[in-house]
Structure 1
Amino acid sequence: MLKLMLACCKVYISESRNKAALKSIEKAASLFPDVPIVNKFEDEIYNRVGYTLVSKLSPNGSCSLKNASFAMVKAAFETIDFQEHCGTHPRLGVVDHICFHPLGATSLDLVADTAKSLAFEVGSNLQVPTFLYGAAHQEGRSLDSIRRELGYFRPNSSENQWRGGTEFETLQLKPDEGPARATQAKGVITIGATRWVDNYNIPVFTNDISIARKIAKKVSGRGGGLPSVQSMALTHGGGTIEVACNLLEPARIGGDQVQLEVEQLAREEGISVGKGYYTDFSEEKIIESYLKLVQHSD
């Protein structure tokens, strides 16, 4: 298995309620049978869906993964109007974020080349401002730094809701590909390449967003907490706020450690938490699921 040259692509789309749009996006992906959707994670409150695709990668970096992801992006822009979006998860565009990860024996440089190639196509063919990050960016710019520059973490509506459309058309940060102006119907897109990242969300039982934000900050590396952990507090309805975490080095700091830390911080605030959950399979499970799907299709 270690000799396998595979690449993974995670496509996050700012929509989960428009089932016809999701059907069109998935139909576009199905035209590339060698690039199966290994996992799909929907959250109607966040109004967001994440797709995980996997493909073989040749030694020169060519694969169908870029073509499949481009087809999904194109279908998303054709079926979703960003101005109609509303949810409790932040977003920058119809297709909010795409990340490529190397699997098996694949190098990070190879998937970075794939990410850059996709960014060029999205920027030039679809005319959407496109920002590169991680290994796909020449200076290794981080995803969260782009998001901070573009106001990603600030709700733009009441009750901690994010509505579609951007507050600005002429972008303060120059995109790496595509026009310097964003349209209200599409927004912008971020595309990058990194080592594997786990996403782990923990429900905190409170309606006080300020307390949840305090916990989220304290558990993060940025706030002096666990190294390689990024986190934010997101309203999730029913008296629950989630501490949503990106685990940038899951082999070093995993979900169990984050869970214990959030539980301790919550106790100090006099509130309780529920058991957290991953929004995707582990890296090993992704490879295993891909191999089963390929064998079944054969």
Structure 2
Amino acid sequence: MSSSRLGLRLAACLLNISEARRKNVVEKIAKAALFEENGILVPRCSLFFPCSEKINCYAARTILGLGKEHSEVTVLNIFSDYDYNRSVITIAAPVENLVNSVLAACMEAFQVIDMEVQEGIHPCLGAVDLIPIYPLSGVGVKECGMVARSLAEKLTAHVPGCSVFLFGEADHPEKRSLVQRRKQLGWFSRREFSSLKPDIGIMPEKRCGLTGIGASPYVMNCNVTIDSQDLAAGKKIASIIRGSNVDGLRGVQAMAFPHDGKIEIACNVESFEDQKPIENSKYITYCILGHQYYYISPQFLEAQIRKLAHDQGIGIIGTALVGFTPQECKDCAEYALKEKIGEFWKKREGIFM
């Protein structure tokens, strides 16, 4: 059953948090997205001091009986990487419900993640590092940008010390890309925020760090592990396939990291529009509100990395798709919401895999 027949305008958030080594903490953050508060809204939560009021977090809502499970929100997937110390939580909902669900998950994350002690291979700026909003069906990128800005304003109002930079459709009017913003902010090296001026919020508290919030067409994460410990070789491959390279793969951003004793080529695969139809088997296409989007096939991406690695005498070990393709995300969201499955990540293997 399609989302249009269900009467839903669906969007997804791939919430990136700087925690993967405490499974119970990550799942607690994911579950927070599934609870609504029966009309109760606590103005601010206390991150640093003992609570004198009821905290607006999953634990307090559950213990005090303030919340009930939200039937129109689902957590589709949780992907955690120990070495990176980073998790991606896929939250899907009708667009009008997404802000409060993501807000609840973020507030829980800020309670339990401290950037002053966080360690991991993957670069990051914040406890809640990245909040991208993507359209799935019946809603456009422009509206997702407005949703992202609303979320940024609510988050900085509710969490003391939280600060935000905006990207993509939320970064009005410049609409700078996530890559541009990360370069400007020193994504790979910054842990000192004293000279930083965020887009929304005050100077970041060290515990919270800086959170990126934005909207764009769907972005997949596809990681390919090469059978080597040579980081230079991995960086060479990543450089060649980047879309910014004249001969690179359009819509692909790539980095190389040491990972589990080998080198992983970590790729963001962006969806993009084109004025002319693209007839090429390496691209997959989908449509939202009359807009045609394209993205590189994960199979083609893997084949290109395999070839480039082979040219250096290196094999590949495997490929991991972090979550879903755009169509898979839409299909899973429709099914989960129709069946009212909030904790879909626990059931997906028996349904779709």
Using the size of structure 1 for normalisation, the TM-score is 0.88
The residue aligned with 1:137 is: 171
- 1:155-166 to 2 correspondences below 5 Å: 166=190
* 2:86 pairs with 1:52: no
Q: Secondary structure at the match of 1:297?
A: coil
The residue aligned with 1:153 is: 188
**Structure 1: which amino acid aligns with 2:89?**
Y
The residue aligned with 2:238 is: 216
Identity %: 32
Q: Secondary structure at the match of 1:274?
A: strand
Q: Secondary structure at the match of 2:222?
A: strand
CA contact (8 A) 1:101 1:193 kept: yes
The residue aligned with 2:22 is: 18
The residue aligned with 2:269 is: 247
CA contact (8 A) 1:169 1:184 kept: yes
| CA distance in 1 between partners of 2:254 and 2:177 (Å) | 14
CA RMSD of aligned residues (A): 1.7
- 1:296 CA drift (Å): 2.3
CA distance 1:290–1:252, shift in 2 (3 Å): closer
* 2:33 pairs with 1:29: yes
- 1:2-151 to 2 correspondences below 5 Å: 3=4, 4-32=8-36, 33=70, 34-57=72-95, 63-126=96-159, 127-138=161-172, 139-151=174-186
Q: 177, 200, 218: which one pairs with 1:196?
A: 218
The residue aligned with 1:206 is: 228
Unaligned runs of 5+ residues in structure 1 are 58-62, 155-165
Q: Deviations along 1:252-277, whole A, 9 cap, x unmatched? A: 42212211221121122221112322
CA distance 1:167–1:285, shift in 2 (3 Å): closer
Aligned residues: 279
- 1:68 CA drift (Å): 0.8
- 1:69 CA drift (Å): 0.5
The residue aligned with 1:161 is: none
The residue aligned with 2:317 is: 274
- 1:2 CA drift (Å): 6.1
- 1:246 CA drift (Å): 0.9
Q: Which moves more between the two structures, 143-152 or 189-198?
A: 143-152
Q: 301, 305, 308: which one pairs with 1:258?
A: 301
**Structure 1: which amino acid aligns with 2:193?**
E
Q: Deviations along 1:22-44, whole A, 9 cap, x unmatched? A: 24313321214221101111111
| CA distance in 2 between partners of 1:54 and 1:27 (Å) | 13
Q: Deviations along 1:136-162, whole A, 9 cap, x unmatched? A: 1111111011111222235xxxxxxxx
- 1:278 CA drift (Å): 0.8
Q: Deviations along 1:220-275, whole A, 9 cap, x unmatched? A: 1123311211100011122x111011111363422122112211211222211123
CA distance 1:118–1:103, shift in 2 (3 Å): same
**Bigger radius of gyration, 1 or 2?**
2
